[in-house]
Structure 1
Amino acid sequence: MDFELFDPNLATDDEWREVHAYWVMSSRHDRPERTPPTLDAMTSRFRDEVSERSTDLLWLAREQGRIVASARYDISHEDADHYVRIAFSTISVHPQHRQRGIGTELLRLLTAQAGEHGKDRISLAAIRGGTPAEAWLARLGFEPTRRVVSHRLELAATDAALWDLPMPAGYRLVSWGTAVPEEFLDPYCRYLATSWGSPDDCFSPSAVRAHEAQAALDGSDQLVLAVLTGADGEIVATKTARIERAARLVAHPGPSKMTLDHGGSRLSRALEAAILRTLATERPEVAEAAITGPSFYLPEELSAYEREMRRMAGLGYRTEEYLDLWAEVEPLTVILDGDHRTHRA
């Protein structure tokens, strides 16, 4: 097994493509709901983001010349930041090469560099809770500092009866994609101006159409639900699901937005069910809905969120937890330099 520090300033185009291909494979295996970074985004991160505040570095592990693991991390240059920040989404071991100590050896290299740079703490982000990775890091002495909750739902595998929640009396639903139908354009502009508290010219029909044209050029995709009052046909609430292609098509429903006169939990809950129902019927090619929830720093904060998690489960969502973890460099070095056969990843 060979370990090398990747130099972005000396790497050839073929070497960049090799690293990018590995990252795409890793992302699709471990985080299928995420869109992997493009090749341009990856290269610009390493070539352009070396600043006075931090330096972005990348270690690679190779076996018979092929990449089997990688670890990207930031060396912070600010005195207040006595740690190396490691993004777990780019610390990965190939699925076929896990449990062989490769991840442990990479962590040993990173820990040594942290000490060389005068850092006393290592922080790892977005470790999925309840996984072998979390258990491995706990054995090494890592402790949680923050928890982020995520909700995911497989549309085709979920009982649609869970979304059979009618709209409150006096409201009706309409839907569209990236362009507002002409018949709803003026009501939609008035709704935007009211809900955002902005002058009407900020959300004029021409401004909305210009935004749609730019979104089309960017390749954006979405599903919009709008709630109309039965009396005058005015739009009083919306819910938008941004649709992106990760390993497959994933919808990301955003929060319900309502005017002050029509806010309420019944309408909000009905919209949450309606967006899933509409995705399943109008966009059957979308495989999954995913929502990133809030962050928690104390266990009691997460306990207070349990009611919301039960409500999301009632719609068919499963809750996943991602943790930020940290460990002190000196004791971690002692563990890694000792008998690490029981601390392998």
Structure 2
Amino acid sequence: MLKIKPLDLDEAAGLRGYADVRIAAQAVDHPGEPASSRDRIIASLREASPDFSEFVRLVALRDGEVVGIAAVGLRTRLAVGSITVHPRYRRQGIGTALLDALLPELRAGGREALENRVVTKGSAGEHWALARGFHVTASRVVQRLTVADVEPESWELSAPVGYRVERWIGATPEHLLVSVASTRRAIHDAPDTARDPEWTPELVRAAEAEDLAAGVEHRVVVAVEEATGLVVAFTDVQLYPDDFEHTVWHDTVVAPRHRARGLARFVKAHMLRWLLTDRPELERIDTGTAAANFPMIRVNERLGFVTAREVVVVSRSV
């Protein structure tokens, strides 16, 4: 008999089962990709996140064994996450049972939509989601840089004429705050960015405060136009506690009037040099880019990223 209950962070056996489902699913669904350890997965469950106010995590048990999990982060009206079933127990209705248990809890908390942003394109997971009321809202490529495969000399780029680089960890310098927010708003010009926030100085400060509270090291590199002193290109990376070998690249955006001048590649190359100088143990960096954003895909390729897989974003009302 199948039993679904919240994950108890104080129950060692449930935590091990949760992690083992994640590990087994990754081995089957993404063979060849680096896998997280059981200890790392369990540790991550106790870490605060700057992206979500709280989490809902469910486990499905059969005869005491964890056979499926649901994990979603909560925002004001949106829940983002995934449902994962151990490969040995798929096609037995476990994923659907988890979804049926999850939706009422999300509705009760005022969430209006459930979204999964990393469903492999064309996979059984995509077909399952479409059959259960989800629809595809975006298509993305996951690109990966494996540090050992790249010559660092390829990141030695000079600033384009008329620009200089600035960088910081944590809080944006006050004199750059307004132009950082303005440049970050330009990300809405890129494909499939409808859910990105309308950045304001206040929202930038709020996001920085969330990173600080969660123990996340937020690194930013920008290009500043010499003539005006304004930020015109921005890129950022968040480094999480205890995850020293891997990170995920977040936004890279260039103000419209300054595009096609090599600024995106320049700020990202500077970030790579900075990261590897301070974090020599870093082995890989992942980034997601809209499949239609060909210019950014090419920028990443020139820096040494390769496409690991194509994913779709699926969403449904709750």
Give TM-score scaled by structure 2 length. Answer: 0.58
Give the equivalent residue in structure 1 for 2:310: 321
SS at match of 1:169: coil
Match for 1:45: what amino acid? V
Q: What is the alpha-carbon distance in structure 2 between the residues aligned to residue 60 and residue 245 of structure 1?
A: 30
Q: Counterpart of 2:56 in structure 1: which amino acid?
A: R
Please tell me whether residue 222 in structure 1 is matched to residue 211 in structure 2. Answer: no
Pick the aligned partner of 2:268 from 262, 269, 272. Answer: 272
Q: Does 1:92 align with 2:85?
A: yes
Count of paired positions: 262
Q: Secondary structure of the residue that 2:149 maps to in structure 1?
A: coil
Report the alpha carbon displacement of residue 293 of structure 1 after superposing the two structures with TM: 2.3
Shift of 1:225: 1.0
Q: CA deviation at 1:169?
A: 1.6
Q: Secondary structure at the match of 2:144?
A: strand
For 1:315 and 1:258, locate their aligned partners in 2 and report how far apart those are by CA, in whole Å: 17
CA RMSD of aligned residues (A): 5.1
Q: 1:177 to 1:25 in 2, by over 3 A?
A: farther
Give yes or no for contact 1:273–1:315 (8 Å, CA) kept in 2: yes
Q: 1:24 aligned to 2:19?
A: yes
1:99-126 CA-partner distances (Å, limit 9, x unpaired): xx52233559859x89xxxxxxxx9984
Identity %: 20
Equivalent of residue 70 in structure 1, options 68, 84, 87: 68
**2:161 counterpart residue number:** 169
- Amino acid of the residue matched to residue 18 of structure 1? A
SS at match of 1:312: helix
Distance 1:257 1:317, change over 3 A: closer
What is the alpha-carbon distance in structure 1 between the residues aligned to residue 155 and residue 19 of structure 2? 34
Partners in 2 of 1:26 and 1:292 — Cα distance? Answer: 24
Unaligned residue ranges in structure 1 (runs of 5+)? 47-56, 75-86, 115-122, 295-301, 327-345
Compared with structure 1, are the counterparts of its residues 218 and 287 closer, same or farther at alpha carbon in structure 2 (3 Å cutoff)? Answer: same
Residue of structure 1 in register with 2:282 after alignment: 286
Distance 1:196 1:258 in 2: 8
* 1:103 equivalent in alignment to 2:104: no
Q: Is the 1:142–1:325 contact (alpha carbons within 8 Å) kept by the matching residues of 2?
A: no
Residue 168 of structure 1: CA displacement? 0.7
Alignment of 1:124-135 (within 5 A): 126-129=118-121, 134=123
| Cα distance in structure 2, aligned partners of 1:214 and 1:109 | 34
Task: Report the CA distance shift for 1:19/1:308 in structure 2 as closer, same or farther (over 3 A).
Answer: same
Aligned 8 A contact 2:220 2:234 in 1? yes
Deviation at 1:230, TM superposition (A): 4.5
TM-superposed CA distance for 1:176, in Å, is: 2.0
Which residue pairs with 2:3 in the alignment?
A: 5
The structure richer in helix per residue is: 1
- Structure 2: distance between partners of 1:138 and 1:195: 38
Q: How far off is 1:221 after superposition?
A: 1.0
* Higher Cα Rg, which structure: 1
> Counterparts of 1:313 and 1:161 in 2: how far apart (Å)?
15
Distance 1:166 1:220 in 2: 29
Deviations 1:239-261 (A, max 9, x none): 22122258655333333344565
Query: Unmatched 5+ residue regions in structure 2?
Result: 73-80, 102-114, 186-199
